[in-house]
Structure 1
Amino acid sequence: MTAELQRLRAGALAGARTLRIAASLADFPPEIFDLADTLEVLDLSGNRLSALPADLHRLHRLKVFFASDNDFTELPAALGACPRLEMVGFKANRIAHVPAAALPPRLRWLILTDNAIAELPEALGDRPRLQKLMLAGNRLRALPDRLRQCERLELLRIAANRLDALPQWLAAMPRLAWLAQGGNAFNETVEARARDSEQAQAIDWHALRCGERLGEGASGHIHAAVLHGSSGPHDVAVKLFKGAVTSDGWPMTEMAASLAAGRHARTISVLGRLAGHPDGQQGLVMERVGPDWRPLAGPPSFETCTRDVYAPGLRLPAATALRIAADVASALAHLHGRGIVHGDLYAHNVLWRPHAPPGEASALLGDFGAAAFAPAGALGDALRRMDVRAYGILLGELAERCEQGAGGRFIDQATALAQACMQARITDRPDGQALAARTQAWAEPALATG
């Protein structure tokens, strides 16, 4: 029994707003109802639960409920009766059925990643507050047609399913900015071709000397390494994929997109795919960035849902904001020119350095976990304009954090372009090449002088 469960059963958690218990529970602890007048966030992930009490709605203040890594085979209908429930997360269960009754009326954020769902109810489209829908790693062959009614939907993860095609109505979703769609039946051929291409240089494991772990993402571990080649030793980073499905999809989709992206001065470039690992592990060898690079922001929180969290009080000199805007636009235009959509263009996926030397990159666009190949035709163009909307949101955030005074002109320019990028009708937004040209023209004085 965990300390938190002991305290709950002893009545020592009166007034709690948040409760997290991972204790191999097979049954819902009834003592949780003693917190009904205050409890807002309940996390029962990492247990052995397969059902919830029918009167769960007694937790009348509950806003967030997580039950990932449990034994549910059906999304419990009891959730749908919770009057204030907005965020529901049942990742990595064995859910095959999602009844309409399980969808709370105020649903804003639904996570059903890594389950066995083949079909979703049309009633999902009757949840007008829905902003974030995460469905990667299921068995979906289609999406509910009424989902097109969810005009507030901003983030959609449908990668690693069994879709034969994307629905055409995606091109009319006015706020959709972050879409992961790789690893489906319609793009498996092009992904396999990218991974196996002769241009995807293989780098032998035995030519590398791996060192400390630099970090860990959803799809893999990143290690510092030294590559011994014909031109001598070279500092690199090695990303070793875990192999399991992530919230963005399959790691192999990320590998395909990363290799197809090629090298660019404003991305974290991939040097080649890993070959000859003694355990058969898949991986990428990448340029290693220096310790002076750091993420521009942190990922969204429960409260912000789809918006990044910046350091309190962050203020950017106009020259720095200009250079970040230009660098990210340049990277995005490059990806689009290679037939790739990023799918997750966020400040938390941008590395920046405050004191970049003149003429060198001030920002790098990274994390290709949601990146994928754009389909041909109008739908592919719509997916690129979704990236443009995400860029517009980032640009607006830069403008909000730009120092006043000398930054006034940039703030005005950036605000106007951000509004153009976020127009409801996708075809009215500028394309990636136009963004790169326009922001480069703004930034040229800053790029020249630092």
Structure 2
Amino acid sequence: MPDATHDTLAALRRGDLAGARTLRLPAAGLTAFPPEIFGLADTLELLDLSGNALSALPDDLGRLKRLEVLFCSGNPVSQLPPGLGNCTALSQVGFRGCGLTDVPGEALPPRLRWLTLTDNRIAHLPDELGARPRLQKLMLSGNRLRTLPDSLAGCENLELIRLAANRLDALPAWLTALPGLAWTSWAGNAFEGDAPRSAAAAIPFADLDLGPLLGEGTSGRVHRALWRSGATQQAVALKLFKGAMTSDGLPEREMEACLAAGAHQNLTGALGRITDHPDGADGLVMPLLPPGWRVLAGPPSLASCSRDVYDPALRIAPAALLRLVRDVAAGLAHLHARGLLHGDVYGHNILWDAATGAAALSDFGAASVLPDGPAGAALQRIEVRAFGLLLGEALDRSDADFSDAAGLRDLERACVQADVGARPAMAEVLRALS
């Protein structure tokens, strides 16, 4: 048990945490729910019990009347605890990697907004899931689902759904009619087609000199590296994958999509895939972006749920804004033409030069192969909404009265409109921006 967790647990048992709004007890070795937690019923808003050995939670969990966020990932819980449904303020629930097989309808709290059930053994979801009108974010990758409840067709506020690595025979017809949906993934299901062929090189790990860590995400770590190929040397970025299921899906599918995307100046595509890593790790060698490029935004917070968090001081000059959104649109139009959906078009996945607006879209963890024909075109319009939201966020951080602002606001409205079929294709968006 980490020292900080040990100290927190001891303080809880002494009664020293009266009035606490947050309680974090990860990896505390708990085999039973500490009854002292109920002493915080009038104030507790966030409870983190991840990484313990809890097999159940109390049926009277509803006594925690102010609880809004509950994290229980990594506990051996086979059934989503029915007591959650009595927590009237609970909006975010996380049970990742628990071995869950059963999700009773009565376990779903009435104010549910964000549900994470990634990496479990769930084969069926209850119809009650679609009767949660606030539902905005639904993480279901890495389960055994063959179908989804049709009641989800009524979830007009659902903006993000992760369905990768399940056993779905097809995507439900209602998915492309959801007016708010902007981010989805389905890689690794039986119906997904083959990714476009890639001619990327196989790069022996011994040809790479590993440099400093540039960044880390849920699927892997990115290092600066030097690639020695014959008599030439090239500075590159090397992403080493952790190999575990992520909320978006399987790292193997991320690598395939990144390679299939091909070369494009507005994508952080791959130069090749490594071979012969001493620990058997998978990895991609990618172009190294210019120094000074940075991430456009931070990932969503507990409060923002499905929307990125921007630096409050960020201001984007009009010329840089135009370059930024054109570059992202160009990268997306290329992906769609290649038969790929990015699935995660967010500011936190965009690297850019704040001075010029030059940008590249990164992170293919949620990418999926599009079906042919009208079905693929409809799914592309989901991603068009994600682009429209990004465009609006950029405009909110620029001068309201520059010459192109009104036209860009019209384009934003066209991209995010509730009628999915009426949204423009990304190729049309790119032409409008060009």
Q: TM-score range by the shorter chain?
A: over 0.9
- Of 396, 416, 419 in structure 1, the residue corresponding to residue 413 of structure 2 is 419
Q: Which runs of 4+ in 1 moved over 4 A?
A: none
2:323 aligned with 1:323, yes or no? yes
Gaps of 5+ in 2: none
Distance in 1 between residues matched to 2:186 and 2:194, nearest whole Å: 13
- Give 1:437 shift: 1.4
Counterpart of 1:429, as a letter, is R
Which residue identity lines up with residue 395 of structure 2 in the other structure? A
**5+ long unaligned stretches in structure 1:** 441-450
Secondary structure of residue in 2 paired with 1:83: coil
Kept in 2, the 8 Å contact 1:399–1:410? The answer is no
Q: Secondary structure at the match of 1:185?
A: coil
Aligned counterpart, 2:23: 19
Taking the aligned partners of 2:387 and 2:155, their CA distance within structure 1 comes to 22
Aligned partner of 2:404 among 397, 407, 410: 410
1:17·1:40 contact (CA, 8 Å) conserved in 2? yes
Shift of 1:213: 2.1
Give CA-to-partner distance per residue, 1:56-84, whole Å, 9 cap, x none.
00000111111011111110000011111
**1:166-245 to 2 correspondence within 5 Å?**
166-187=171-192, 190-191=194-195, 194=196, 197=197, 199-230=199-230, 232-245=232-245
1:7 maps to amino acid:
A
Tell me, in whole angstroms, the C-alpha distance in 2 between the residues paired with 1:283 and 1:263: 17
Q: Paired residue for 2:35? A: 30
Amino acid paired to 1:366: S
Residue number in structure 1 paired with 2:100: 95
Per the alignment, residue 10 of structure 1 pairs with 14
Shift of 1:269: 2.3
What residue is the counterpart of 2:78 in the other structure? 73
1:376 to 363, 372, 382: 372
After TM superposition, the structure 1 = structure 2 runs for residues 324-403 of structure 1, keeping only pairs within 5 Å, are 324-356=324-356, 362-403=358-399
2:46 is aligned with 1:50? no
Counterpart position of 1:438: 432
Amino acid at match of 1:10: R
Q: Distance in 1 between matches of 2:201 and 2:173?
A: 36
Matched to 1:418, the amino acid is E
Alignment match, 1:444? none
> How far apart in 2 are the matches of 1:5 and 1:278?
41
SS in 2 for 1:156: strand
Report the counterpart of residue 137 of structure 2 in structure 1: 132
The equivalent of 1:313 in structure 2 is: 313
1: CA distance, partners of 2:395 / 2:198 = 43
Secondary structure of 2:271 counterpart: strand
**Contact 1:148 1:173 (C-alpha < 8 Å) held by counterparts:** yes
- Identity within the alignment, %: 55
Number of equivalences: 429
- With over 3 angstroms needed to count, the CA separation of the structure-2 counterparts of 1:164 and 1:200, relative to structure 1, is farther
- 1:31 deviates by 0.7
Structure with more of its chain in helix, by fraction: 1
The alignment's TM-score, normalised by the length of structure 1, stands at 0.93
Residues of 1 paired with 2:167 and 2:52: CA distance? Answer: 29
CA distance in 2, matches of 1:13, 1:414: 51
Which residue in 1 is equivalent to 2:249?
Answer: 249
Q: Which amino acid is the alignment partner of residue 92 of structure 2?
A: M
Q: String of CA shifts for 1:18-53, please: whole Å, max 9, x gaps.
A: 111121111111111111111111111111111111
What CA distance in whole angstroms lies between the structure 2 residues aligned with 1:154 and 1:377? 24
Moved more, 370-379 or 81-90: 370-379
TM-score normalised according to structure 2 size:
0.96
Give yes or no for contact 1:87–1:107 (8 Å, CA) kept in 2. yes
Q: Which amino acid aligns with 2:300?
A: P
Aligned to 1:299: 299
Determine the C-alpha separation between the residues in 2 that align with 1:420 and 1:404. 19
Pairwise CA distance, 1:201: 2.1
Give the superposed CA RMSD: 1.4
Please give the secondary structure, in 1, of the residue aligned with 2:290: coil
